[in-house]
Homo-oligomer: A and B are copies of this chain.
Amino acid sequence: MTRPGGRSARVRDAVHEAVVELLAAGEIDAAIPKIAERAGVNPTSIYRRWGSRDHLLLDAAVTRLRAKSPIPDTGSLRDDLLGWAEGVERSMRDRRGQILLRALVATMAPDEEPVEYLRARGDDLQNALDRAAARGEPVPTVDEVLDFVLAPLYLRVLFRRPVEPGTAARLVGRLLTALPADPAPRAGRGG
């Protein structure tokens, strides 16, 4: 994926970086003017683009977490999933990754409508699964990948349990072992 250039992308990067820096410094409640000051942009640009601090925070967390664990196209589902899951594991062993995940979860207000915050990652995963299915490999559903791999990694961080090296590989192994050998088409993105 190429990064779109130009001023707009630079502003976005600078603002995201400012959010991450402030969160890492413990300034969880930093308001938009403070974020703008740190990013060297006008607060108006932030209000116009993101609308609210929570939307900005969500965008920054999803963008950063996703960038840290791209899904490679290796020609093998196992290696695609390993490459991705090991990126997630690294990110979850890193203090900033942990802070972003916690910020992501904390920002979803209690009575908000359900929103597909995992949609972007789900789309990336679906592409990798579609490639494997086209090669005739047995494939899990996106929900199975989230249940078997992402949920255990994220829960360790959210409950402050250690993420041991090798966790991602073990979780991907479990997922693939659980697959039926028959590569019959399966339901897409069930509940």
Contacts and interface: CB of A to CB of B under 8 A. Distances in A.
A159 B158 CA distance: 12
A167 B191 CA distance: 8
Contact of A147 (B152, B158, B162): B152
Contact of A178 (B110, B155, B178): B178
A46 B161 CA distance: 28
A110 B26 contact: yes
A171 B155 contact: no
Interface stretch (A12-20, A32-40, A99-107, A125-133): A99-107
Interface residues of A, number: 35
Most buried by B among A146, A147, A152, A191: A147
A3 interface: no
A176 to B, nearest CB: 12
Contacts of A110: 26, 28, 98-99, 102
A115 interface: yes
Nearest to A164: B191
A150 B161 contact: no
A118 interface: yes
B26 A111 contact: yes
Nearest to A112: B160
Contacts of A158: 105, 108, 154, 158
A159 B108 contact: yes
A118 B174 CA distance: 23
A151 B146 CA distance: 10
A117 B105 CA distance: 18
A119 to B, nearest CB: 10
